[in-house]
Amino acid sequence: MGERITITTDDGSFDAYLAKPATTPAAAVVVIQEIFGVNQVMRDITDGLAGQGYLAICPDLFWRIEPGIDITDQSEAEWKRAFELFNAFDVDAGVQDIQATIDAVRQRPDCTGKVGAVGFCLGGLLAFLTATRTDADASVAYYGVGIENRTAEADKLTRPVLLHIAEEDQFVPKEAQAAIRQALGAHPLVTIHSYPGRDHAFARMGGAHYDEADARAAGERSLAFFKQNLG
């Protein structure tokens, strides 16, 4: 369903996976990867958003480390490599690459000019920073790792952001969740949904902690949020 396109920045060029809806022009959604690269899970999410009527694009944010990372969560060796990539990743440069992706898709003739973002895991943190640092029109963060350390950036929010929090997230402990709620819970541009009993990556189909019912609930909330804010 999708195709590869190239996005050029002052620092170099990187690929992105683009999936088009049946009807254009359409609002766009930037899909922000987990620590496994632009893999089949991310491409499926991108295709799914296109099926919902959005021009969906998933940029290769690991390109500065190694272009074309495409691994899974199914082996110990892949997990080891994923955490190596996570530890080597430059978050600030990643947000700049997301802005470059927003700029590139926004100027396409098949885009209405409205652009949202949705991210998972590492991408969840990046989605929150996309909301605070870029001109995205709306952002959704699934179980973002490290948001509790960035809540001061909420002062820069001018567009809405939706956070999905897994209450038993092994990478976002209870203390971190409490800090997020305390700092962001009353913010007029922040909506938080919590999922009791769910662990990290509960929406990753095929993952160890996947939960069909809550993945569907979070997906429906995300789509409603995009419909409200992207048209």
| DSSP secondary structure letter of residue 108 | S
Judge whether 99 and 9 are in contact, CB under 8 Å: no
CB atoms within 10 A of CB 188: 7
CB atoms within 10 A of CB 187: 15
Q: Render each residue's pLDDT in the chain as its tens digit; 231 residues.
A: 799 999 999 999 999 999 999 999 999 999 999 999 999 999 999 999 999 999 999 999 999 999 999 999 999 999 999 999 999 999 999 999 999 999 999 999 999 999 999 999 999 999 999 999 999 999 999 999 999 999 999 999 999 999 999 999 999 999 999 999 999 999 999 999 999 999 999 999 999 999 999 999 999 999 999 999 998
Helix extents (H) in 40-147: 40-51, 76-88, 91-106, 122-133
Catalytic residue among 97, 169, 199, 211: 169
169 is catalytic: yes
C-alpha to C-alpha distances, 54 to 15, 47, 74, 114, nearest whole angstrom: 19, 9, 29, 10
Question: Which amino acid is located at 50 in the chain?
Answer: A
Indicate yes or no: pTM above 0.75.
Answer: yes
3-19 exposure pattern, b = at least 16 Cβ within 10 A, e = fewer: eeeebebeeeebbbbbb
Give the structural domain span for 218: 2-230
CATH of the domain at 157: 3.40.50.1820
196-225 exposure pattern, b = at least 16 Cβ within 10 A, e = fewer: eebbbbbbbeebebebeebbeebbeebbeb
How many domains in the chain?
Answer: 1
Distance of alpha carbon 203 from alpha carbon 181, whole angstroms = 21
β pairing state of 12-19 and 2-9: antiparallel
Distance of alpha carbon 78 from alpha carbon 126, whole angstroms = 22
200 is catalytic: yes
Residues 6 or more apart in contact with residue 35 via CB below 8 angstroms:
82, 83, 85, 86, 121, 122
Catalytic residue among 60, 97, 164, 200: 200
